[in-house]
Homo-oligomer: A and B are copies of this chain.
Amino acid sequence: MKILPEKTVERLSQYRRTLYNCIDQGKERIYSHELALLLNITAVQVRRDIMFIGYNSYQRKGYDIKDLIGKISLIIDTQEPLNVAVIGYGNLGKAITTYFIGNRPKLNLVAAFDIDPKKIGSEVNKIKCYSIDRLREIIVNNDITIAILTVPTHSAREMAKILVQSGIKGILNFTTVNLNVAPNIYLEEYDMITSLEKVAYFVKHKPEEEE
């Protein structure tokens, strides 16, 4: 299958989570406009994304929620689960660990790393913290392919380098340092301060939204 647009991948992930919530509430079918409302987007957007993944509903009956979840999972999940590690086990690293609980069957959070001896050996939600000295060893032995980087600014570049050397294929970067990695490594940057400054800007310059 052709590679999907980035934004579609993002939304598919959100659709799936929302659809799981619907199932919990006993819902079996959902219309495009219902799903759109839940996500604050338009029904056309939903239908277009679903077109991309080639799912067909029974016409006029909405989508079968379980089927749709299955189809989305087929597209965005890997066959084999991917192993993930959190690098930096401060508040943010722990917060992410908590978000993870029992959530994603195809993404296993398997280890955390920190430099602080007090943290090493500690656990949050069964995820154990190892010394950063053992990074390479544990990444290689556990076939970890994705790293979530939450270390302090000053060590971010150094860490990224070690991660790539250890065979990591994707990095989700929460530090405020813009990393430079080889083009075969997928890098997703997330910067909280920028998000906040963006909110501040658009609060001031309300974009004249009218409905």
Contact = CB atoms under 8 A, between A and B. Distances in A.
Contact of A199 (B4, B188, B198): B188
Interface string A165-208: 00001111000101110011011101111111111111111110
Given A192-B99, A195-B190, A146 B200 contact: yes
A153 B207 CA distance: 28
Given A103-B193, A184-B206, A186-B206, A199 B170 contact: yes
Contacts of A106: 200
Copies of this chain, how many? 2
Nearest to A150: B95
Interface stretch (A9-17, A62-70, A132-140): A9-17
Contacts of A186: 199, 202-203, 206
Interface of A: 3-4, 6, 9-10, 13-14, 17-18, 37-40, 76-78, 82, 84, 90-92, 94-96, 98-100, 103-104, 106-107, 145-146, 148, 150, 169-172, 176, 178-180, 183-184, 186-188, 190-207, 209-211
28 contacts: A3-B205, A6-B198, A9-B202, A13-B191, A76-B197, A76-B201, A82-B203, A90-B98, A91-B91, A96-B192, A103-B193, A104-B193, A104-B196, A104-B197, A107-B196, A107-B197, A146-B196, A146-B200, A146-B203, A170-B199, A170-B200, A170-B202, A183-B209, A184-B206, A186-B199, A186-B202, A188-B195, A190-B195
